[in-house]
Structure 1
């Protein structure tokens, strides 16, 4: 089990959505919290709303791998060694494979996959030395069962599963924990900010996202999974969860169901 109170927690993607709600609830639980995202002004707003003396801001750009390595050195000077890393930052996609440029595919992998693993790989040696550390990675249900119009996004989430499953296995005896979080439809701006084929933003809310679980409830369930030491947790509606099990046990039926999905 990972204790939140008094632990040094580094949270990415903290300026909005699930990350913002995680920041509020982690602060309330007494974490020594470092919040990161690209926009300092939004991080400052979240920090002010946390109403805690143990929340600090550290802007990062997940696309800039060189600066990320520097940030991992800087983060240790704030509250000390990081106990829990929550890789929550990322971007989504809404377009067909034929219409999506390779530049968009590369950006999705750079932000969602390479950005996250850069932070984990940079912190890992110290965690192994201390025999203590918890990596939490927020992926998606499309990390197991992908749908049309999310090819690059789903690929980046599948990649995260492959990396963090290996990290968990390699460093179990070093006291390193890994929790993979798979949200389904959560009512955030992720679909509004999603990239279309030319790299611009979609600028509209998906119907499924609009009807999704609240980010407040999602954050509560993520923290519960962290504290209980779960290896993998599915968060969302019944349809998303059933889709995962259908893919696992009846892949042919899952493929047929995916072809009939009305997705945007």
Structure 2
């Protein structure tokens, strides 16, 4: 992705937060972008704010409608004739206790965060295979590696993404296809504000950890470096990253630390 090696990059969840910051940074590098999210108006604003808006195309996309991804993928390919990198960034979080959470909330979290991402990636996969190259970049979470209260459905969906894309990497290594899993810690976005509570409505308030997280533009630069290096998996955040290693070597200690922390 460096130098003159410009790519066609399809980015979901591009209307705000990490996706918006990625759009600006990738445009600065001269890549051709396809920006997707549900909010067409906000996508247009992001496009206009990119360094090279003429090399940016918007494609509204709702991941919850995962059975109709074939049309979106065929449309995306027509814009520039190919796709080199798919960045699966779109998703929604959760802030509710298991006992208080309707089953429909779990269904929505799985549909958007897991099945929508899987469906989109499966439709892009034949294109990558026929090209003999391609790069899936999937934004999961540290919650895809260990759990935290109030995030049961979110954690489950993010854990599932790791299982799916680890296998995709193995099965299609022979086809020249790369997979990078990006695990953010706390980033200053609206993820907590938009998080679902037990009845399926939005939390509509931020939390301290998110407010004190990494600025999105700093996160985006770190993530782009990981993509350029084709890392298998990368953890980006603050001290919360230590949870990865505690989970592996000292799971009981992690359990105690998480329970003492301001996890909400």
Q: Which runs of 4+ in 1 moved over 4 A?
A: 1-5
Contact 1:5 1:29 in 2 (8 A): no
CA–CA separation in structure 2 for the residues paired with 1:130 and 1:179:
19
CA positional deviation for 1:3: 7.5
Query: Root-mean-square deviation (CA), in Å?
Result: 1.3
Calculate the TM-score normalised by the size of structure 2.
0.97
Partner of 1:178: 179
Q: Which moved more, 1:214-223 or 1:2-11?
A: 2-11
Partner of 1:237: 238
Contact 2:194 2:202 in 1 (8 A): yes
Contact 1:168 1:177 in 2 (8 A): yes
CA–CA separation in structure 2 for the residues paired with 1:47 and 1:125:
28
CA–CA separation in structure 2 for the residues paired with 1:60 and 1:171:
26
> Unpaired segments of 5 or more residues in structure 2?
none
Contact 2:66 2:120 in 1 (8 A): no
Size of the aligned set, in residue pairs, is 263
Partner of 1:91: 92
Q: Which moved more, 1:35-44 or 1:121-130?
A: 121-130
Calculate the TM-score normalised by the size of structure 1.
0.97
Distance 1:142 1:135, change over 3 A: same
1:49 aligns with 2:43: no
CA positional deviation for 1:257: 2.0
Q: Which moved more, 1:124-133 or 1:7-16?
A: 124-133
Task: Give CA-to-partner distance per residue, 1:143-195, whole Å, 9 cap, x none.
Answer: 01110000000100000000000001111111100000000000011000000
> Unpaired segments of 5 or more residues in structure 1?
none
Report the 3-state secondary structure (helix = DSSP H, G, I; strand = E; otherwise coil) of the residue aligned with 1:178: strand
Q: How does 1:1-264 map onto structure 2 within 5 Å? A: 5-52=5-52, 53-238=54-239, 240-264=240-264
Report the 3-state secondary structure (helix = DSSP H, G, I; strand = E; otherwise coil) of the residue aligned with 2:138: strand
Contact 1:61 1:68 in 2 (8 A): no
CA–CA separation in structure 1 for the residues paired with 2:120 and 2:257:
36
